[in-house]
């Protein structure tokens, strides 16, 4: 029987932005494998172009690959043509790993109607998050990001969690974070295909 979120169950989607990173992403994949959890990696095209082996490794392990622009700039400050170029150049790098339901996460979560339209025209669906662990914030390193993440997860049934595989402190503390989530009870780590 599937778990019923109306009775206190929690659905969890782990997502990781800004990679791939030469060493951290590989360690992240090992940790996720040890917990048998599949996640979504929103990759920066410029980085993915140089580390395609890691993108392929994540994909082959059952993780989902999303588009996070080519340079990680604020796309809302760009022309429509520049927006299109940022998404398209990344698509050229990752399109063999994206499947038919292609997903895009704008850098910094900044988007507007123009960017949403451009992404849609290029065949992408915009996917955001509703749990920000603050792992990117130096004030929450090395491990202080775990508690804000847990506090947000406790307050909702469906948690789309933002983390970053570029930070060593995130990789180091991910096993603790996952273990704490599991201890909340009645938790399901959802497949990335349902994001």
Catalytic residues, by residue number, are 17, 164
Report the C-alpha gap between 71 and 86 in whole angstroms.
7
In the block, tokens 């909702």 appear at: 156
Peptide bond into 20 cis (omega under 30): yes
Buried b (16+ CB within 10 A) or exposed e, 47-58: bbbebbebbeeb
In sequence order, the 6+-apart residues with CB closer than 8 A to the CB of 148 are: 132, 133, 134, 140
Alpha-carbon torsion angle 112, 113, 114, 120, nearest 10: 110
Are the beta carbons of 183 and 35 closer than 8 angstroms?
no
Report the C-alpha gap between 141 and 101 in whole angstroms.
34
How far does Cα 67 stand from its chain's mean position? 10
């Amino acid at each position: 029987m599937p778990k019923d979120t109306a009775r206190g169950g929690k659905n969890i989607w782990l997502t990781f932005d800004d990679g791939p990173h030469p060493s951290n992403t590989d360690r992240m994949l090992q940790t996720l494998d040890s917990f048998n959890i599949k996640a979504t990696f929103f990759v920066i095209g410029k980085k993915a172009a140089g580390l395609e082996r890691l993108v392929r490794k994540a994909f082959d392990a059952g993780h989902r690959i999303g588009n996070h622009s080519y340079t990680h700039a604020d796309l809302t400050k760009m022309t429509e043509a520049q927006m299109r170029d940022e998404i398209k150049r990344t698509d050229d790098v990752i399109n063999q790993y994206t499947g038919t339901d292609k997903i895009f996460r704008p850098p910094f979560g900044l988007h507007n109607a123009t960017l949403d339209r451009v992404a849609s025209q290029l065949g992408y669906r915009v996917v955001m998050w509703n749990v920000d662990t603050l792992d990117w914030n130096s004030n929450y390193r090395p491990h202080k990001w775990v508690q804000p993440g847990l506090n947000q997860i406790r307050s909702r049934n469906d948690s789309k969690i933002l983390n970053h595989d570029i930070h060593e402190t995130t990789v180091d503390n991910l096993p603790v974070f996952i273990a704490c989530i599991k201890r909340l009870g009645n938790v399901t780590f959802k497949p990335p295909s349902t994001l």
